[in-house]
Amino acid sequence: MVHIAVAIASKGRPEVLGDVLDGLSTQVRPPDSVWLSVTSPDDLPGELELRDVRVLIGPPGLTTQRNAVIDAIGPEVDVLVFLDDDAELHPDYLARAEGFLADRSDVVLFSGLVVADGAATGQLEREPARALLAAHRASDAVVAEPAYGCNMVIRASDARALRFDENLPLYGWLEDRDFSVRAARTGAVVRFDGCALVHLGVSTGRENGTRLGYQQVVHPAYLHRKGVLGRGQTAKFLTRALAANLVRRSSGRVDRPGRLRGNVLGLLALAQGHVDPQLVLLLP
């Protein structure tokens, strides 16, 4: 029997984390274990109703928190499903994920179809997201593309071999692209539309605009030096971030001036030869 473990890294969003756990309880094929990687007991919801919920408490940072799960799971775990705490899964997501991996031994890493993405359109609410998924008609289409960090499915053995790059701190900007490119060196990385979800894009608990803006510039340069991104891809990520922060208006959930300030600080760092993502930790 395949053991599917769900891994969720979270910080400062206990209510959001509680909601995603409620959603997991409706899965047609329940997870065999759920791993919560948090930074303090205050990150946890008041009640943990799912069986087999394991809690790991450690240093903050998406890549660090996800690696903590990889290090903690035992040999009984066959499949790891990395979720953001603001992901809402279709009830048959895990059942379809299990079947897809059984049929496609060539696939190393995959994400499901994001039916709606609040990170792009503005925050979505949980109940409308569930209604949207209830009305969704599944497809079995498979598309070759990098995995999306809000939902990534991988065999545990591959996750142990790859791990996440902890040089990408805090929110871990582009950690999913780095993970995908390295995974693609050993097998297929795809999107499987049979697994559907909504990414709510909840903004509370996110890092400040200046730090994120710094990462938008420095992380592509770091991944280029690492051999993960080509020159054209690196330039695309840089120009896209700068254009968005220059042209688009700020909102309650997106601090454009802060991001632009961080972009400038990142460009200054690169001009001085500093391609070190960890320097973001020195910013206020």
Instruction: Write out pLDDT tens, residues 171-213.
Output: 999 999 999 999 999 999 999 999 999 999 987 655 689 999 9
Q: How far apart are CA 54 and CA 208, in angstroms?
A: 29
What kind and span of H or E run contains 56?
A: strand 53-57
4-199 placed in CATH 3.90.550.10: yes
Model-level pTM? Answer: 0.94
Each domain of the chain, given as residue ranges in start order, spans: 4-199, 209-282
Using CA of residue 239, residue 214, residue 82, residue 46, what is the dihedral sign?
negative
**pLDDT tens-digit profile, the chain (284 residues):** 999 999 999 999 999 999 999 999 999 999 999 999 999 999 999 877 656 799 999 999 999 999 999 999 999 999 999 999 999 999 999 999 999 999 999 999 999 999 999 988 888 999 999 999 999 998 999 999 999 999 999 999 999 999 999 999 999 999 999 999 999 999 999 999 999 999 999 876 556 899 999 999 999 999 999 999 999 999 999 999 999 999 876 555 678 899 999 999 999 999 999 999 999 999 98
**CB-CB contact of 245 with 256 (8 Å):** yes
DSSP 8-state symbol, 148? B
CB neighbour list of residue 25: distance below 8 Å, 6 or more residues apart: 49, 50
